Amino acid sequence: MKRAILFPGQGSQSVGMGRDFYDAIPECKALFEKANEVLGYDLAAICFDGPEEELKKSHNTQPAIFTVSAAAYEALKLKKPEVTFDFAAGHSLGEWGALYMAGVISFEDTLRILKARGEFIQTACEANPGAMLAVIGLDRAALETISAEAGVEIANINSPGQIVLSGKAEGIAKAEALCKEAGAKRALPLPVAGAFHSPLMAPAAEKMTAFLADVPLAEPRIPVLSNVTGAPHENVEAIRANMVAQITGSVQWVDCIQWLAAQDVEEFVECGPGKVLAGLLKRIDKTRSVSNIGTLTDLEA
């Protein structure tokens, strides 16, 4: 039976995440201590104690979700060494978790990238203010028409009935009205810092190109799906290019899951905080089994 591991993205964080791994497993504790050392501040304290406002800042959220996901994966390897994976994928920042798991990049370099990525994105958000809108109940074709009319972009294709739009605030307000007119079940503005996965993030992508140029990357041990293409990264140079393109491009999550299903992946394991990806998977393909490892209790179950 084929199995894929999935790593969550921004929005999956919650205060207290990762504490049980830290307390119970020395190898997981070591990862948090290494993260504190690399980042130069107490990331573990922000994960475990918050406050939530601090945890929600992109330059904290991104390394925090990655570190908790890496700890969950470490715990899985130690407690269930017989569980192996044929493929890896991650949603937005989670794609870095998938690349780390597949041996493409070191834990330390992933942290440095995510800290920088968070800072670049935060700066782009402040320079080019924007907003995002989650739309439930309209298909991609309808939203392509609405996006063109409102001057916004499709940011995340999360499931057939859940698509996120991104762009300038006035464009998102216009898109919200158009979605409601078109019969969307819901059109919800998201509590985010700006217009992620849109051209407004171009300054962040530019800085990331320069930052990634010197980071050593290896060929993946197992295929890792690209958010940009919905198919596996072809080689190291493609990884560099795709991980930059991902900052301004839309997350083709439905394509990623459908590609995996077409390879006869029957079991999916979401590794990291929250259950966002498990929920999306059930909407994309109810025939696949999915489990979560976000806590020690999940792992024991």
CB atoms within 10 A of CB 291: 14
Q: d(Cα 118, Cα 59) in Å, to the nearest integer? A: 4
Point out the catalytic residue in the list 92, 147, 166, 250: 92
Q: Are 145 and 179 in contact (CB under 8 A)?
A: no
CB crowding 1-33: b at 16 or more within 10 Å, else e: eebbbbbbbbbbbeeebbbbbbeebeebeebbe
Distance of CA 124 to the CA centre of its chain: 18
Candidates 275, 223, 10; CA nearest to 99 is 223
The packing angle between helices 253-262 and 276-284, to 10°, is 60
Active site annotation includes 250: no
Q: Are 159 and 184 in contact (CB under 8 A)?
A: no
Peptide bond into 51 cis (omega under 30): yes
Active site annotation includes 289: no
Point out the catalytic residue in the list 197, 198, 226, 250: 197
Type of residue found at 139 = D
Contacts of 104 (CB under 8 A, 6+ apart): 217, 218, 219, 220, 224, 236, 239
Question: Which residue(s) pair with 201 in the sheet?
Answer: none
Tell me which H or E stretch contains 233: none
| Catalytic residue list | 92, 197
